[in-house]
Each structure stands twice: as structure tokens, then as C-alpha cells.
Amino acid sequence: MSPCSLLLRIALCLVACCCSVNFTAAAHDHDHGHGHGHATHDHDSKHDHKHDTTKHSHDHDGKPHSHGIAASVVQEDANLPKQWYRGNLHTHSLWSDGNDFPEMIVDWYLQNDYDFLALSDHNILSEGQKWVKQSLSNERGGIQGFKRYLERFGDDWVETRTRNGVDEVRLKPLGEYRQLFETAGEFLLIQSEELSDHFQQHPVHINIANIRDVIRPQGGDSVRDTIANNLKAIITQQQRTGQPMLPHLNHPNFGYAVTAEDIAAVIEERFFEVYNGHPSINHRGDDTHVSVERLWDIANTLRIAEYNSPPLFGIGTDDSHNYFGQRGSSPGRGWVMVHAAFLTPESLIHAMERGDFYASSGVTLANVEFDAESRTYTVAVEPVDGEQYTIEFIGTRAGFDPSREPRFNEAGEPLRVTHKYSAEIGSVLQSSENVIAATYTLTGDELYVRAVVTSSAEPDNPAFEDQKKQAWTQPFGWKAALAAKAVETESVEGDAGTDAGK
């Protein structure tokens, strides 16, 4: 038996013992260091982002709306101490179109300061029997992928065979390899799927975290219909199983498939990727297509002002496919920081449903706090030496200019893209430069406000040219805006009824 295999078997026994710990026990205080992809993970060290943050209560106007996606079974006591957990919800392996083995991928995230990870391969779950060519990793751009895997995990773990003259290796399912990595309160793997559908040439992809059974693409008669049909299938499974799940729409600008009007109209979807680390998802848009952030502001304005519905929350992900250097869609580019009581799927999903998280491509926040009494929202940064920060509060005020116009091609034909809107949508309401904290006070006329923090430094592994580290908080103030609209609607309907009775 090789030394690596012996160590692996010892680790399996130790982890099996650790996994018997009650997940509802008080979460551990330990320090990841948050080197954004470069610090070494040590289960005996203390993770400074997992401190008691009860005083940093992150309240986005109250309890989450369920609008089709059922609220989590776990309803947490608001007084429970909470911690920040770092995770990636969009990851690919050799189970679909990634170029590395799932154990190698999980090991990378474990060693690079992540607390939870969802491997989300296309239209498949990592379960059952799946054999692939030993050369498959190399054929997808890996560098001695099978050899590296064998050296890392040993021949007692790696299963091989030769079939019809082809050397094959068995891909381990989640149920087997999770035992190597999970530790209660420290690291969690979440079963996920990237439900990959399309309408005509437009890709429509939805990730489902904590899914129970694989869901096949549902199709539809339009992009909106395709999104809605797939969400219905997710809702059906969630209601049937009672298991909390978190669906989010992926990379809307990939192929410029999803417009702001599309995602605004499908109000059952509550989450989407405001940042995706894949270089090909057109994060900044172009002369014809809006950026992903601009799309977010337009969609949220339409949701609140026209659909009388809650806004979208923004997620950051890697969408990693390549694990050999920083080529293509490599790991460590985008993540979420979730403020939850426990490191369990239920607790994480519940926190995200209530908007208690932020997305990041490199900036870590020390505090995100909404004070309902003073109507103030404070964002503070964990500063890094040599970096300067700009904190902007962005939103749309009531009474904004609602005018819009389609975009046309050179032949004068309307394009299927997000329309042109007034600059009053998603405008900068307040900006503070060279600061590590800023507070915004609501005036009462905002439909919503969100914060974005931008560093002067580039990420360690940038996805596009001239990129800067950023963090995006979730919209706040919107529940009061919806309540005001409801009162206005009732008043108008009451007046109409009075007039009709005359």
C-alpha cells in the first residue's frame, strides 16, 4: 500500500468520526485568513470571518418572500449568533465539461479558504456509475490530469479498468468522495445541478443548489417561458421532497440570451449571477448590450415599479471549468459570503433567501448592517494594505423617468436585447472615495438601494482586462417601496369604487 493510500484511509476514519457531530451544535470559530485563493486551509487554525456577528444583523426589510420557491424548512431564531461562510455555487468537473476530477476540485477549494462548495455539472448529478477515458482531462486542456489525480489520492482510491483497448477511470460520486473532505461546521459539499436548457439559439441555464433528483430541461416557447417552466419543475420537486433548494439564473449575458425584461417578468426567480468568473459571459456588455450590473438595476426597477414584486438578489460564482493554471474559466474568481447560523444547506439557503449575503470578486466586507429605526445602511470593508476603496450606493427613486426604446440593427430591425432606459434607473445615489466604511440614509423615495465596493487593486486571477476587485450587497429599502405602492393602489381602487357607486 502506498503512503498516500494509507494516509487517505486514516483520513477517512477520522472524517467519519467528525461527521457524527450534530450539525445543529454551535458553529466553530476558526480563521480562514481570506487570502482570496492563496492561503492554506488548516482545520486547526482559527477563521477570522467566522466570528459572532449578531450585532451585524443584515436585515433586508424583513422576512423573505417565497413567490413560488418555498421558504426553508429551518426558520432560524433571529437572536442566534451568525458567522460569515464563503462558498462557490457554480463549479464543473469531468462529470460534464470540466477538465478535472471532482476530488481534485474539492481539494483546491478546501485548501483555498472556502467553507462550502457546490459541484454543478450540466444536466447530471454526480451519482451512480460513470467511467471515462483516463486521457479525458488532458483532452480538455488538463496537464497530466490523470497522473496528478493518481499521485494525489493513490491507487487504492483511484479505480481503473481497460475496456475495448481503452484505459478508463471511474468518476467517484458525491456520496463517496464527500467523506474525504466534509467536517461539521468547517467544510460542506452541496449537491447541485446546472439545469442547461435553451430557446432557439439562446442558452438558458439555472443552477439548483441542494437538489434531490436530477431535473431534465423543460423547454418553452420563449426565453421567459423556458425560465418559468424550469422553475416550475424545481418548485415541484421542492414541494414533493420538502427539501429546501436554491435556484439561480446563470450568466444572463452569455450569448446575450436573457434580457432585463425577461428576468424582470419571471418573478418566481429570486436569484441571478451578478458576477460570473467565466471570461466568455460578457460581464461588461458592449455598445448594443447592457452590462450585467445595468441589467440588474433595470430588472429590479421593473420588478418593483411594474410587477409589484421583490427584486433579484445577486450571486457571485466561479463557473470554473479549468483547473490547470489561470486559463479560461479557472477557480477563485467569484464567490458568496453568507451570514448564517450554521454551515448546513438549510441554514445557508435560509440566509440567502432573506438577503443576508453578498457577492465578491475579491473584496471582503467587515460589516453590512441595516438599521430599521434610523433607516441607515452601513457597509464597511476589511481593508488590505495598499488598496483604496470606493463605496457607491446605487438605486432608483420613485418618479423616475420610465421611458424606454428598443435598439435596432443597421437594417432598422429591432434587436432582441435589453431596451434603452433613462439614466435615472440604477443611478449613483451616493459615492465615497478612499474610505473603508460608508453609511447611506434612506430618504423614503427609493424603490431600492444596493451598495457596490470597488478596490483599486486587480484580482489575483482576473476574468477580464482592467478588472478591479469588487463586492456587491443585496438591494434594500424595497419592501417599504412595495408597501407604499400597495397603499397607493388600494387608494386608487377605493376611489374608483366610490365613483362607480355614484
Give residue-wise pLDDT tens across range 153-170: 999 999 999 999 999 999
CB 212 within 8 A of CB 241: yes
H or E stretch at 368: strand 365-371
User: What's the confidence (pLDDT) of residue 109?
Assistant: 98
Convert the pLDDT of each residue in 342-374 to its tens digit.
999 999 999 999 999 999 999 999 999 999 899
Nearest to 473 by CA among 390, 358, 393, 376: 358
Give the C-alpha separation, 294 to 313, whole Å.
Answer: 14
Q: What is the pLDDT of residue 21?
A: 31
Neighbours of 197 (CB within 10 A): 21
Residue labelled with grid coordinates 486542456: 141
Q: Cell digits for 315?
A: 450571486
Residue 161 in grid coordinates: 479498468
Ordered structural domains, the chain, with CATH:
3-20+39-501 (3.20.20.140)
> Among the residues of 114-250, which ranges form H helices?
136-139, 145-153, 174-177, 223-241
Query: CA–CA separation, 334 vs 277, rounded Å?
Result: 6
Helix (H) or strand (E) holding 3: helix 3-18
pTM, two decimals, is 0.85
Question: Please, which residues have CB within 8 angstroms of residue 42's CB and are 6 or more apart in sequence?
Answer: none
List CB contacts of 189: < 8 A, sequence separation 6 or more. 106, 116, 117, 118, 119, 174, 178, 181, 182
* One-character DSSP codes across 251-313: -TTGGG---HHHHHH-TT--EEEEEE--TTS-TT--SSS--HHHHHHHHHHHHHHTS--PPPE
Q: How far apart are alpha carbons 26 and 186 in whole angstroms? A: 12
The span from the CA of 28 to the CA of 39, in Å, is 19
Q: What are phi and psi of 184, to 5 degrees?
A: -55, 125
Residue type, 392: E
Return the pLDDT at 77.
Answer: 52
| Residue 110 grid coordinates | 478546501
Regions of the chain where pLDDT drops below 70: 1-78, 491-502
Q: Are strands 166-170 and 404-405 parallel, antiparallel or unpaired?
A: unpaired
